[in-house]
Amino acid sequence: MSVRTSIAKITTISILLSFFSSAAIAAGDVAAGQAQAVTCAACHGQDGATAIDPTYPNLAGQNEVYLTRQLQMFQSGERNVALMSAQLIGKSEQDLADLGAYYASLPAKHFEATGSDEDIKAAEGIYKGGVIAKGVAACAACHGPNGAGNAQAGFPAISGQSVGYTIAQLTDYREGRRGTGDAYGNMMRGVASGLSDGQIAILADYISGLH
C-alpha cells in the first residue's frame, strides 16, 4: 500500500470519526470533572502533566473527545487495563465526560527532543512523510504538524508525552497488545506494524519535543 493510499484512507476515517465522535460523546463539565479527578492525581499528577511512571500518560491538554472515549473503553474492558478499569467502577457516562472536559482544560506539558541531529531529522521524515517502502502513512496526517491532534475527530494530541509512554504505546500497537477494534486502533496498528524498535524510539523522542 502506498503512503498516498494510506493517507486517503486515514482522511476518510477521520471524517467518519468526526461525525460519530461528536454524536457519541456527551459534553462534559470542567468543575464537576475537577472534583472527579482527585483520585486520578495519584498517578497522573495534580496538574495532569506529571505522571508518576514514564509509561503513564500525561492527560493535561488532551482533547475531550479522545479522553472520554478512552475512559469509556477502560470502563467497559474494551481496553484491558485493570488499574484503570478499577478506578472507573460506578462512574456514569456523564462522570467520564466531565473528567475528559477537565483534563482537556488544563495546560499541556512541553518537552524538548534530546536525540542527535541525525536522529531528529530521520524522525521528522517519518513523522511528516511516512515510510514509503513499508506503506507507513505520515503521523502528521492525523496528529498535525505540531502533534496537537484533531479534537473534532478525536485524534489525540501526542506532543507533551514522555518518551517512555509513546514508545510503550507504539510498541503495544505493533505487537497487538493495544487493540480496541475501533477505527482509530486499526489505523494505529497498521502504522506501527511498519516501524522498527529504532524508528519507534527516535519518533517518540521527536514527538515529545513538538509544540
Alpha-carbon distance of 94 to 118, in angstroms, equals 47
Cell of 145: 504538524
Residue 53 identity (one-letter amino acid): D
Cell of 73: 473503553
Beta bridge mates, 136: 131
Decide: 57 and 165 in contact? Cβ < 8 Å. Answer: yes
Backbone angles phi, psi at 94, to 5 degrees: -70, -40
HSE at residue 105, side-chain half, CA atoms within 13 A, is: 15
| pLDDT tens over the chain, length 211 residues | 554 555 445 544 454 444 444 445 668 999 999 999 999 999 999 999 999 999 999 999 999 999 999 999 999 999 989 999 999 999 999 999 999 999 999 999 999 999 999 999 999 999 999 999 999 999 999 999 999 999 999 999 999 999 999 999 999 999 999 866 677 888 899 999 999 999 999 999 999 999 8
Other residues' Cβ atoms within 10 Å of the Cβ of residue 181 = 8
- Identify the structural domains of the chain with CATH numbers, from first to last: 3-14+111-208 (1.10.760.10), 24-105 (1.10.760.10)
Decide: 139 and 203 in contact? Cβ < 8 Å. Answer: yes
